Amino acid sequence: MSSKEWSNLYYKCLIICVTLWVWGMVMVLSSSTPSGIQNTGNAFYYFEKQSIFFFLGLGLFMFFKNFPYQKLKKFAKPFVILSFFLLVGVIVLGHIVKGARRDIGFGPLEFQPSELAKVAFIIYLADFFSRKYGKKMVLKDFTAPLIVLVFMMLLLIKEPDFGSTVLIFLYAVGLLFLAGMNLKIIFGFIGSFIPIAVVLVAMAPYRMKRIIGFLHPNQHPYGIGYQIIQSLISLGSGGIFGVGIGNGKQKLAFLPESYKDYVFAIIGEETGLIGTIGVIALFTVLVLICLYVSRKTKDPFGKYLASGIGLYFGCQVLLNIGVVIDILPSKGTTLPFFSYGGSSLVMSMATLGILFSIIKGLRTEEEIPIISSPL
C-alpha cells in the first residue's frame, strides 16, 4: 500500500465516520423533540443526554485511535470477565423498564452492559482466532469460545435482551466463517441453536406476539401490528426526497418512541428514499473498509479484529433496518449513531477508534511516512 493509498483509506473512513456522527445527532434531535416535550417538557432533553454520551464517545474514539490495538490482546479475557460481572449486576441491580433489566444507573446517566459485552466478545474472538491462525481448525478447538458464547447468551436472555443475544451469535458465526472453519461444521453449529431459539420464542408470550405481529401486522392494526404498520407508513410518506428534516408527522403521535429502534423510519419520512439509501451506503462502505483493512493487515489479530468490527456494524444495521421495513420480527436493536441510546453511541465510537488504530498499523507495516490528521 503506497502512502497515497493509505491516505485515501484513512480520510475516506474519517469522512464516513464524521458524516454518520453528525447526521446521527441531527436525526436524534429531530426524532426525539416531540417525546422530549411530552415526557419532560424540554424539547431538547434527549438530544442533550445524547450529546453528553457523544463527547464521552469522542473521547474514547481519540483514546483507542492512538492506542496500539495489539495491546488489546492482553485485555481480551479481562474485558469478557468484566462483561460477565456487569451482565450479572444488571440482572440483580438493573432498572426495570418494560419488564426488562438492561441498564445500570450512574447518577443521571445509564449504561447497558450488553453494549460492552458485544465489543468485548469480538475482541476475545479476534484474540482466540489469531492464536489459531494458519492452523486447520476443528469444532473441538472452538470449545472455549463456545462456553463464553453460551454463558454470555444465557445472561443476555435473562435480562431479557434477545436482540443482543442474536448479535453475539452472529458475530461467532461470522468469525468462524472468516477463520476458515469447515462449512459443514458452521451449518451444524447454526442448526444446533435453531431448536433453542424456537424454545425461547415459545416460552415467552411477548416474543410469540412479535412473531405474529411480524407475520400478520394488518390483522392487528391497533395491537401487536401497530408499530410496524406506522413504520411502513412513515417510510412510504417520505417519497423520494422526504418532507424535510424536522417536518415528519409520524414522530408526533403515531410511531411510538421513534427516536430509538425505529429512527430509520423517520429518516425515510424526512429525507426520503435518497436519505435511506444514503444511510445504507455509508454503512456499506464502512463495512467494506473493515474487510479491506482486514485483508491488508499482516497481523492475524488485526485481521480478525477488523473483520469483527465490520460484523459489529453490518449485523446491527441489517437487523435494525430489517425490522423497520418488516422483513424481520422486532427484537430491539438500535441503528448505530442514529438511534437514541448513550451506551450504543459510546461503544460504537470506541469501536471506530480501534478500527483507526488498525488502519494506523498499516502505515507502520508498510513504513509509510506519518501524515498529519485533524484528529
Q: Model confidence over 41-83: pLDDT tens digits?
A: 999 999 999 999 999 999 999 999 999 999 999 999 999 999 9
Mean pLDDT (whole number) for 263-287: 97
pLDDT the model gives residue 107 = 61
Q: 225 by DSSP, 3-state: which?
A: coil
CA distance 56 to 346: 7
Q: What is the pLDDT of residue 368?
A: 44
304-319 burial: b if 16+ Cβ within 10 Å, else e = bbbbbbbbbbbbbbbb
Q: Give me the pLDDT at residue 44, please.
A: 95
Are 309 and 355 contacting, i.e. CB atoms less than 8 angstroms apart?
yes
Q: What cell was used for 146?
A: 463456545
Supply the pLDDT for residue 365.
62
- For residue 12, pLDDT beyond 60: yes
pLDDT value at 329 more than 80: yes
Report H helices in 159-299: 162-178, 183-203, 205-215, 226-237, 250-253, 263-296
CB 245 within 8 A of CB 23: no
Is pLDDT of 234 > 50?
yes
Tell me what the mean pLDDT of segment 193-209 comes to: 77
| Cis status, amide bond into 374, omega within 30 of 0 | no
Residue 106: what are its φ and ψ, rounded to 5°? -130, 85
Q: What is the mean pLDDT of residues 152-169?
A: 89
Other C-beta atoms closer than 10 Å to the C-beta of 25 total: 17
Handedness of CA 132, 137, 141, 144 (dihedral sign): positive
Q: With residue 262 as reference, give the H or E element that holds it.
A: none
Answer yes or no: is pLDDT of 295 > 50.
Answer: yes
Taking each helix axis from N to C end, the angle separating 3-40 and 45-65, rounded to the nearest 10 degrees, works out to 160
**CA 79-81-85 angle, 5° bins:** 115
H or E element at residue 88: helix 76-93
Task: Write out the E strands in 12-150.
Answer: 95-97, 100-106, 109-111
CB 351 within 8 A of CB 115: no
Confidence of residue 374 (pLDDT cuts 50, 70, 90): very low
**Average pLDDT estimate for 354-373:** 71
Mean pLDDT of the chain: 89
- pLDDT > 90 in the chain, percent: 65
- Cβ atoms of 210 and 332 within 8 Å: the answer is no
Q: Beta partners for 100?
A: 97
The pTM of the full predicted model, rounded to 2 decimals, is 0.92
In this prediction, residue 217 carries a pLDDT of: 80
Residue 373: pLDDT band (50, 70, 90) is very low
> How far are the Cα atoms of 6, 12, 87, 158, 277 from residue 123, in angstroms, in the given order?
24, 24, 17, 23, 30
pLDDT value at residue 304: 96
For the beta carbon of residue 219, count every other beta carbon within 10 angstroms. Answer: 11
Angle 76-93/113-131 helices, nearest 10 degrees?
A: 150
Angle between helix 300-324 and 342-365 (nearest 10): 150
Phi, psi of 161 (to 5 degrees): -140, 85
Cell numbers describing residue 182: 469447515
